[in-house]
Amino acid sequence: MIKFHNRAYDLGYLCYRWVKPVIDPVKAARSLPGYARYWRDWFRYGRLEGAEHIALIDSAPLIGENTAVTAFDRHYFHQDIWAARKIKRSGAESHVDVGSRIELVGFLTVICNVTFVDIRPLIVDLENYKGLSGSILALPMESNSVRSLSCLHVAEHIGLGRYGDPLDPHGTLKACRELARVLAPGGNLYFSLPVGKPRLCFNAHRIHSVGQILDYFRDLSLVELSGIDDERRVMLQMEKSALDNADYGCGLFHFTKK
C-alpha cells in the first residue's frame, strides 16, 4: 500500500515538473485566495483617509508574500555562509569563484578581491571585483595557480545543456578535475553540490554520492566534510556516510592540495 502511494506521488510530481515551465498549477491554485485578499485590501485602502488614487494601469498585484515566516532555500543559504566564513577565516586577499551565486560573489568583495568566472559573465562595476568569461571545463587560469577557490552548487549541472553548455555525461567529473588542476599547492577549494542516492534528474541536475565526489577529487586532500540533510539540518564535520540515503542533501567539501 505504501509502495503504491509513493508511486502515485512520484507520477504526480513528474507531471508537475513537466507543466511547471509553462504554468505552475500549484502556484496558480494558491494565488486564488491571494487575489481575493488583494481586491479586499484595494477597496479598504481606498477608503482610508489620505489614501492616494489607485489607477488600474499602475496596479501591480503581488500575491502570496504575506507569509508567517520568511521562506528561503536552505542549501544556498547555509552553503554561502559556510564558504564565506571559511574564506574570511583563511585570510585570503584574493579569491576565485566559478559559477556560484552572484549574491555570494558580491558579498565576498567586502572581504577580499574576487574574480568570478562563468560562461554567462557577470558584468558589473564593483570595487574589488573582476569578471571573466570562461567555462568550468577550461578555466582561464594556469595550473596550480589559485590559492582560494570556490564552486558551489554548480558542478551537478555541467554537461546537461541547461545553461547552454555542451551535453556530456562526464561533465561533473571533468569540472571537478579542472578545479583540481588550477588549485595551488596549499590552496583551499570550497565545493558543494547535491548528494545522496546517485541519480540523474535531466536536465536539472545530477545527485552524487559523497564517495563519488571524493573519488573525483582523489588528487586533493579532504579538510572538512559538512552537509545539509533532507530535513534541511546543517551537519558540521559529518561522517562520510551520513548522507548516503539522502534524497536531496547538500555536501559541503573543503579540499586542499598537498
Tens of pLDDT, residue by residue over 127-154, are 999 999 999 999 999 999 999 999 999 9
* First-to-last C-alpha distance (Å) of the chain: 53
Q: List, in sequence order, every beta strand (DSSP E) within the chain.
A: 94-98, 113-118, 129-133, 146-152, 183-195, 199-201, 205-207, 221-228, 234-235, 249-256
Question: Which domains does the chain carry?
Answer: 2-58 (no CATH), 74-256 (3.40.50.150)
Mean pLDDT of all residues belonging to the chain: 94
Query: Residue 26: its pLDDT value, please?
Result: 82
Whole-angstrom Cα distance, residue 133 to residue 13?
Answer: 36
Beta strand 146-152 pairing with 129-133: unpaired
Query: Residue 3: its pLDDT value, please?
Result: 39
Amino acid at position 18, single letter: W
Q: Which three cell numbers stand for residue 88?
A: 574570511
**Neighbour-count burial of 56, counting CB atoms closer than 10 A to its CB (0-12 exposed, 13-18 middle, 19+ buried):** exposed
Of 218, 203, 84, 201, the C-alpha closest to 152 is 84
Q: Which three cell numbers stand for residue 193?
A: 553540490
pLDDT tens across 103-119, in order? Answer: 999 999 999 999 999 99
Of 145, 113, 116, 114, the C-alpha closest to 132 is 116
pLDDT at 4 over 50: no
pTM equals 0.89
SS3 131: strand
Give the mean pLDDT of 173-195: 98
**Predicted confidence band at 13 (pLDDT cuts at 50, 70, 90)?**
confident
**Predicted confidence band at 6 (pLDDT cuts at 50, 70, 90)?**
low
